[in-house]
Structure 1
Amino acid sequence: MTENEFLAEQFEQQRGHLRAVAYRMLGSLTEADDAVQEAWLRVSRAGTDEVRNLGGWLTTVVARVALNMLRSRRTRGEQPLDTHVPDPVVSREDRVDPEQQALLADSVGLALLVVLDTLAPAERLAFVLHDMFGVPFEEIADVLDRSPASARQLASRARRRVQGQPVAPDPDVVRQKQVVDAFLAASQAGDFDALVAVLHPDVVLRADGGLSRPQLSKELHGADAVAGSALMFRRTATEGVHRRVLVNGAVGTMSWVDGRPTSLLAFTVVDDRITAITILADPDRLAGLDLTVLDD
């Protein structure tokens, strides 16, 4: 086996982990794949004679590529005009594909990715690498071209932002389903009080309709506002076919009309109340989702 063949083999063994790093950095499945591919091109041209920890080195290479992509987004002004929902990972409620399990380790829900989108690129890298993957600050400092103390400060700043948000759902998926079912039943019944009772007082609803349905893009705060919105759209919510799914490992629902996906809802449930509802209603992005995992 040649050195390049050995490196290619090792890279393939790490691909799932590297894709998970890139997904947390970018919030985009397509860009995560692009980042991993770019990382391979860099790695295949570089010598590895002095690399002691190949897995750690590959992680920092992918992180550096993702960091450049994040900075490029800002330079080009590619910030969403309205509410933006990161790419979801949809799976069946009764099982998760092994490849998805690697991608979603540590319960990286959509609510968390939304918060990560608010961080500066350097903050996001420091937080993702250290808090999610245990990369030492000395190595993070090399990626950022800063001191370890500065890298630690960036991660701390990001951590405070994340910890101030209800982004970690309850681990009990069965209980999540019960809470979400109560919300859906109250919505269909038009019971405002029952809706408010199952919502956290500071619940946040984020909806992304994309360029095709900009009227659906919005961000609402508070139980009354979210309950009122649920009642307003309860008629359209009964149209088509609905299926309970897992969205980034948490309970959600997928809807189709005439065979076309029309909306994806992800719920964050904490202490038996819904703290966040994230809705993707962009027809173009919905059409691009890999829904083959839902097939029986």
Structure 2
Amino acid sequence: MSLPRSDVDLFEAARPRLEAIAYRVLGSAAEAEDAVQETFIRWQAADVERIEVPEAWLTKVLTNLCLNQLASARARRETYVGQWLPEPLLAGDPMLGPADTAQQRESVSYAVLILLERLSPNERAVYVLREAFDYPHREIADILDITEAASQQLLHRARKHLADGRARTEIDEAAARRIVGEFLAAATSGRTDSLVRMLTDDAVTVGDGGGKIPARAKPFEGAVAVAKFLRGLFTPGKAKRDLAGGSPEIHAALANGGPAVVAVVEGRVVGVMCLEVTEHGIAACRNQVNPDKLGRATRQWAATDHGEPLLRAF
């Protein structure tokens, strides 16, 4: 069924918001794109003239599609090879959504996306809609077919779960580049003491290779263990060059609003290491190297000016 141009335009105007909601709920840009496309298919099949508030209708359809997709995604993650980590998004990607308030920026941080995995699907949806998009509980209740009181209770539980995580420090682009520069200098110095000083005592590092690229699925824990692992990770070697398909250029960037180490080979992003920075130091180094989760980052990388690399590795 072909939609009038005005109805297509209405949907396209809503697409960035829908993608940003779906990404936060699912933690995957690819799955978010699928959910938004399925929403468009439902929009095509609907009697649009009878829809009084298109934005509310689209949000309701999308959210419920995401909840269904989240249930199946979690089942797939039970058989996922290695550690599952969210798909990182680089600065400037419209799927990151609004960033006007601290709550909005926090809701899409890599650390919070990981913590959201602790929540039930409904808790996750309520948290995203309320904290990131400021939907009133009345509208959230209608979207999820629950009461306003239930929506408020779900948000309370979600905030309680997320409060168990460590408060991160907000970082601008200049600070991110400085932190990554210092981090790389320490990691490639051949010594661990300077790197240990940058880490919190209980720092962790973990990687997601999806069974396609070797990655550290079981976390290293503690500053000394993490520093030793990172020193080895950034030590040059032919095997690493072969695995990456060449000698990567290492850049400083922002991913999900936080400092990140981005490894690029001939324009292709082959790794994004997100650094979780707190007032006490770097608390986590999460390395996404699964090629299935780096395609959007590669497209965003090609569309932006990223400057000279800080390091040519391996």
Residue type of the alignment partner of 1:6? S
**Whole-angstrom CA distance in 2 between matches of 1:198 and 1:75:** 37
Residue 246 of structure 1 is matched in structure 2 by 254
User: 1:3-42 to 2 correspondence within 5 Å?
Assistant: 4-42=4-42
70 and 167 in structure 1: CA distance in 2 versus 1, 3 angstrom threshold: farther
Distance across 1 between alignment mates of 2:198 and 2:270: 25
Counterparts of 1:128 and 1:166 in 2: how far apart (Å)?
A: 19
> For 2:286 and 2:230, how far apart are their aligned partners in 1?
13
In structure 1, distance between residues paired with 2:79 and 2:171? 32
* Partner of residue 281, structure 2: 273
- 1:259 Cα deviation (Å)? 6.7
Aligned AA (2:302): T
The superposition leaves residues 186-244 of structure 1 with CA deviations (integer Å, 9 ceiling, x where unpaired) of 11113322212111223332211221234532323332222121123231389622222
Contact 1:195–1:227 (Cα < 8 Å) also in 2: yes
Q: Which residue of 1 aligns with 2:171?
A: 171
CA RMSD of aligned residues (A): 3.0
| Alignment match, 2:159 | 159
Match of 1:293 among 275, 297, 303: 303
The amino acid across from 1:254 in the alignment is V
What's the offset of the Cα at 1:67? 0.9
Partner in structure 2 of residue 66 of structure 1: 66
Q: Return the TM-score normalized by structure 1.
A: 0.84
**DSSP-derived class of the 1:204 partner:** strand
Within a 5 Å distance, the mapping from 1:180-199 to structure 2 comes to 180-199=180-199
Partner AA of 1:252 in structure 2: A
Give the SS at the match of 1:254. Answer: strand
35-44 or 170-179: bigger deviation:
170-179
Work out the CA distance in 2 between the residues paired with 1:264 and 1:83: 15
Q: Is residue 206–residue 216 contact of structure 2 (8 Å, CA) maintained in 1? A: no
How far apart are residue 153 of structure 1 and its match?
Answer: 1.7
Query: How far 1:23 sits from its partner (Å)?
Result: 0.7
> How many aligned residue pairs are there?
290
Question: Match for residue 228 of structure 1?
Answer: 228
Distance 1:264 1:236, change over 3 A: farther
Ranges in structure 1 where 5+ consecutive residues have no aligned partner: none
User: 270-279 or 156-165: which moved more?
Assistant: 270-279
Corresponding residue for residue 110 of structure 1: 110
Identity %: 32
Judging changes above 3 Å, is the alpha-carbon distance between structure 1 residues 252 and 134 closer, same or farther for their aligned structure 2 residues?
same
Query: Relative to structure 2, which stretch is displaced further, 24-33 or 77-86?
Result: 77-86
Alpha-carbon deviation of 1:104? Answer: 6.6
Tell me, in whole angstroms, the C-alpha distance in 2 between the residues paired with 1:13 and 1:151: 27
The residue type paired with residue 189 of structure 2 is: A
Matched-pair contact (CA < 8 Å) for 2:176–2:253:
no
2:130 corresponding residue in structure 1: 130
Separation (CA, whole Å) in 2 of partners of 1:13 and 1:287: 24
Report if aligned partners of 1:104, 1:248 keep a CA contact under 8 Å in 2.
Answer: no
- Does the CA contact (< 8 Å) of 1:170 and 1:271 recur in 2? no
TM score, norm. by length of structure 2? 0.80
Q: Which amino acid in structure 2 is aligned with residue 164 of structure 1?
A: D
- Cα pair 1:109 1:167 within 8 Å, conserved: no
- Summarize the Cα distance change of 1:76–1:42 in structure 2 as closer, same or farther, 3 Å threshold: same
Equivalent-residue separation in structure 1 for 2:277 and 2:117 (angstroms): 21
Give the AA of the match of 1:293.
A
- Where structure 2 has 5 or more consecutive residues not aligned to the other structure, the ranges are 242-246, 307-314
